[in-house]
Chains A and B, each alone.
Chain A
Amino acid sequence: GQSLEQPSEVTAVEGAIVQINCTYQTSGFYGLSWYQQHDGGAPTFLSYNALDGLEETGRFSSFLSRSDSYGYLLLQELQMKDSASYFCAVNNAGNMLTFGGGTRLMVKP
């Protein structure tokens, strides 16, 4: 089977840095994706790692270690609008995605 583990909730203050971890057990791994979803909205693509290392896109960075079956999403200079759910997802064969349970991030003033 396939499974992804990520914390259910994280709370941080404006301007801080937060890291959301994701560990996975899967077969046919092609890469790890991260999505943001605000309440009532659809998931929005944030980043994708196919190879080990860090990918940086503005305030958001994503890291992957294939040997450890581990990745994380790093959010810097947190803003109130970053309050949302964040999902890691494994890209499988056939370009299908298997999603983690999601991490609800609450940013406080």
Chain B
Amino acid sequence: GAVVSQHPSWVICKSGTSVKIECRSLDFQATTMFWYRQFPKQSLMLMATSNEGSKATYEQGVEKDKFLINHASLTLSTLTVTSAHPEDSSFYICSVQGGSGHTDTQYFGPGTRLTVL
């Protein structure tokens, strides 16, 4: 598979502030990373596809100006939640596709739990 890390693992912030979440592919170069959001007791919802060196592709209903994605290198993608509000509180998870396992498979990071007060 692939080894993926995220930082921070959890964050608490005040309403109106911005929070940056990092996703790193530790053992191979990932041209594509994915960002998901998961609310309690619900499924994972794809937010956007992050492509190295180009603009991210956002899913319908996801505000690209609110959730800024930067995939500046083959091992790092960042998600910035701008002007966060309590309704943005969620579990944010990134994934990379491929690695040493199935090339069609996505491997997930440990997730970042965001709480907005």
Query: Tally of A-B residue pairs with Cβ under 8 A?
Result: 52
Tell me which of B12-20, B43-51, B64-72 binds A. B43-51
Q: Measured between C-beta atoms, what is the minimum distance from B79 to chain A in Å?
A: 15
CB–CB B102/A48 < 8 A: yes
Contacts of A96 in B (CB 8 A): 34, 46, 49
CB–CB B104/A31 < 8 A: yes
CB–CB A43/B104 < 8 A: no
Q: Which of B1, B106, B111 has the most CB of A within 10 A?
A: B106
CB–CB B43/A43 < 8 A: no
Q: Measured between C-beta atoms, what is the minimum distance from B1 to chain A in Å?
A: 6
Contact of A42 among B32, B34, B46, B111 (CB under 8 A): B111
CB–CB A95/B104 < 8 A: yes
Q: Beyond the given A96-B34, A97-B34, A99-B43, could you list 10 further A-B residue pairs with CB under 8 A, ordered by the A residue number? A: A30-B104, A41-B110, A41-B111, A42-B93, A45-B101, A48-B104, A87-B43, A94-B49, A97-B95, A99-B44
Q: Top 8 closest A-B pairs, CB basis?
A: A42-B108, A42-B111, A99-B43, A99-B44, A43-B108, A42-B110, A95-B97, A101-B43
